[in-house]
């Protein structure tokens, strides 16, 4: 059982050595632990520090592409390296490496496909009161939309099985945390939360310049993911509500028109017609969006199959290496 711990990094020379040092190299149930960093165009000594610390694999972006894309690139690299379990942590030493065994335990026991480290953000004294409340609200929203029970939806400290990693497709540049949870819920993956230890904050988050911008980007990501997977429900209900609202003034006008008192009540007809037209268009959008969502699911299935096919040569090479001693023995026997 091979575990790869990946660390997306952008200018983390001050903390990377500590992060790497705290990652356990021996975990019960794991035969091999390797460390991989994804350098997102750092301009400091991050890559040099990684080499000095004995990091096993270094993946470099040519330029800064954002956390989400670095995360996706790391997942694809870890799969190519034959990882059975992939743990993602941050390069700022926010998460304690000592909690990695707790993260992978439910996977080793075959209880989960994805395990999310729960920092207990609602009780974290490192967070301001406003941030704690926003974290609670955001987690509640993601839990309802995704259908998975998590206590810390934006935690980047996570463990994935190889099978779960094959299905990951991150579209946003901002952050993968909420999008992948909604994705996991739609694909029927089992997601569990486990409490994890955190370290004192070393620097402000670089995901957004302020809490307002962070929440704004998270809301956009959540809505995009929701409409991507549940567009029929979202637009259909909105359209039906508008149609219902539009019918009321139209029926009112028809009633008065039928009894000969329709003069001067054209406003009801115009208003109702506007709502009916808007509702009709929204219902049409609902079905078109559902067709696009179906196409996305088919595309994801194709991408997953392509990823699996890309891994087959590696499996064949391993089998060939395993058979090599048998061919040598055979030739020795013939020579005798």
Q: Over the chain (336 residues), what is each successive 10-residue block's mean pLDDT?
A: 95 93 94 96 93 94 88 92 95 92 95 91 62 68 73 88 89 75 84 89 60 67 68 82 90 83 78 91 86 74 75 54 43 37
pLDDT value of residue 327:
38
pLDDT value of residue 334:
40
| pTM of the full structure | 0.71
* 283-to-97, 152, 286 alpha-carbon distances in Å: 49, 35, 5
**Distance of alpha carbon 67 from alpha carbon 154, whole angstroms:** 13
* 107-to-104, 116, 159, 164 alpha-carbon distances in Å: 5, 11, 8, 11
pLDDT value of residue 335:
38
- The vertex-142 CA angle with 95 and 163, nearest 5°, equals 65
Residues 103 and 87: beta-carbon distance below 8 Å: yes
3-state secondary structure of 59: strand
Which helix (DSSP H) or strand (DSSP E) does residue 301 occupy?
A: helix 266-335
Tokens describing residue 298: 């088919």
User: Helices marked H in the chain — which ranges?
Assistant: 16-21, 46-52, 67-80, 100-108, 129-146, 162-166, 177-186, 211-258, 266-335
pLDDT value of residue 266:
81
**Distance of alpha carbon 312 from alpha carbon 297, whole angstroms:** 23
> Considering only CA atoms, which of 181, 185, 183 is closest in space to residue 296?
183
β-strand pairing of 114-118 with 57-60: unpaired
């Amino acid at each position: 059982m091979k575990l790869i711990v990946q660390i997306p990094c952008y200018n983390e020379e001050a903390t990377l050595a500590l992060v790497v040092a705290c990652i356990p190299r021996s975990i019960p149930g794991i035969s091999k632990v390797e460390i991989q960093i994804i350098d997102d165009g750092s301009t400091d000594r991050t890559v040099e520090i990684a080499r000095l610390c004995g990091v096993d694999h270094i993946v470099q972006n040519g330029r800064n592409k954002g956390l989400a894309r670095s995360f996706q690139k790391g997942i694809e690299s870890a799969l190519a390296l034959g990882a059975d379990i992939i743990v993602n942590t941050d390069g700022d030493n926010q998460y304690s490496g000592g909690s990695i065994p707790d993260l992978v335990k439910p996977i080793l026991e075959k209880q989960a496909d994805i395990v999310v480290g729960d920092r207990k953000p609602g009780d974290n004294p490192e967070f301001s009161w406003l941030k704690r409340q926003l974290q609670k609200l955001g987690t509640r929203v993601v839990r309802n939309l995704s259908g998975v029970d998590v206590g810390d939806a934006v935690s980047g400290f996570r463990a994935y099985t190889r099978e779960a990693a094959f299905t990951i497709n991150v579209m946003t540049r901002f952050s993968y945390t909420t999008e992948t949870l909604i994705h996991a819920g739609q694909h029927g993956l089992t997601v569990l939360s486990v409490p994890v230890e955190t370290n004192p904050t070393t620097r402000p988050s670089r995901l957004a310049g302020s809490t307002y911008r962070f929440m704004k980007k998270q809301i956009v990501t959540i809505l995009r993911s929701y409409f991507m997977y549940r567009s029929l429900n979202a637009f259909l209900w909105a359209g039906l509500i508008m149609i219902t609202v539009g019918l009321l003034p139209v029926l009112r006008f028809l009633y008065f028109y039928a009894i000969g008192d329709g003069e001067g009540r054209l406003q009801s007809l115009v208003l109702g017609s506007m709502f009916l037209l808007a509702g009709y268009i929204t219902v049409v959008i609902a079905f078109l969006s559902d067709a696009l969502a179906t196409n996305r699911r088919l595309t994801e299935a194709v991408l997953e199959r392509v990823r699996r096919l890309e891994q087959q040569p590696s499996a064949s090479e391993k089998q060939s290496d395993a058979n090599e001693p048998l061919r040598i023995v055979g030739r020795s026997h013939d020579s005798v």
